[in-house]
Amino acid sequence: MELIRFYTLVLVLLLSNISIASALPRCLHVMSYHQGYAWNDGIEKGVEQGLAGKCELRKFYMDSKRNTSPDFIRVKALEAKQLIEEFKPDIVIASDDNASTYLVKPYFKDAKLPFIFNGINWNAEIYGYPYKNTTGMVEVAPTKEMLTIARRNASHINKIVFISDDVVTEHKDFRHYKRVYERQGITVVGVFVKTMAEWEKAFVQAQSADFIILGNNAGINDWHKKRAASHVEKYGKRLSMTTYTWMMPYSMLGVGKVAEEQGEWAAEAALAVLSGTKINNIPITLNRRWVYYQNKRLLKKAYIDIDKVSRHKAIAKDWLNVRN
């Protein structure tokens, strides 16, 4: 009898847990990129922490940073669509541009299923946002802050070179840097590369500029961390800056966007919608948090002494030992 009572209790507890799990709303997080990419991981962390214990969360990675072919991304979008049809989530979080380009816009515009987008670079209107079933956080870079810091630490800024991997989001970034800075009479040149060798060549040639912006390296599949660090130490003479923390081993200064902010906000918005808030009552917003960094090693190699304000704000680390 005691054994029967024990198994009965176990069964009751299991059924109770299943009942609790099934009572939770279903949330799906569709990410444009891959697990292990620092920006993607930061957003994912913010979403996870925000929805922990409040949602049955599933994830889908489109892997479109390493695989940039439109045909590949369309296939992944169809896989995500199929998952939505099978899992039947109550809400979907769609991170970064390609999830909106290939999934939300063609298949779920003004649908009943609510979507929270984040990581959309600069302008959500190019996707027709907002739809009846969407809201989100637009990702912007600190263009004005970067120029203010550069002008404090360089004798003049007439020409800027922007070096990045050859992917859609980086081209969008470049166009906005160019528009903002050329209004101030500054020439902005964009160099987009696919290989490590092309990046090294571009970096050397950029030393003729007054200021260098280092974009992303995630789309450079043969990227070599130690080789890149040695290269910038040897050839880096001009002030360089980035908005990506994982590019700080190769950049003198940084004004970093906070990926977790995108995920945290998306989770909060998702919970608000699941609690009954109408999604079109949640306005589209912009990221607001910045983190300032300095790479003392590279600054010293280039004999650049940054101003006291920039030095006071910036976090200094041994970036050689914290490369992602």
Mean pLDDT taken over the chain: 90
pTM, 2 dp: 0.75
What digits encode the pLDDT tens for the residues 10-46?
Answer: 454 454 444 444 589 999 999 999 999 889 999 999 9
At 2, the pLDDT band (50, 70, 90 cuts) reads low
Domains present along the chain, CATH in parentheses: 2-140+259-286 (3.40.50.2300), 143-257+290-321 (3.40.50.2300)
Query: Residue range 52-71: average pLDDT?
Result: 94
At 320, the pLDDT band (50, 70, 90 cuts) reads low
pLDDT of residue 68: 87
Is the pLDDT at 318 greater than 70, yes or no? no
pLDDT of residue 76: 97
pLDDT of residue 158: 95
Q: What percent of the chain lies above the pLDDT cut of 90?
A: 74
SS3 string of the chain? CHHHHHHHHHHHHHHHHHHHHHHCCEEEEEECCCCCCHHHHHHHHHHHHHHCCCCEEEEEECCCCCCCCHHHHHHHHHHHHHHHHHHCCCEEEEECHHHHHHHHHHHHCCCCCCEEEEEEECCCHHHCCCCCCEEEEEECCCHHHHHHHHHHHCCCCCEEEEEEECCHHHHHHHHHHHHHHHCCCCEEEEEEECCHHHHHHHHHHHHHCCEEEECCCCCCCCCCHHHHHHHHHHHCCCCEEECCHHHHHHCCEEEEECHHHHHHHHHHHHHHHHCCCCHHHCCCEECCCEEEEECHHHHHHCCCCCCHHHHHHCEECCHHHCCC
At 316, the pLDDT band (50, 70, 90 cuts) reads low
pLDDT of residue 5: 54
Q: What percent of the chain lies above the pLDDT cut of 70?
A: 90
Is the pLDDT at 62 greater than 50, yes or no? yes
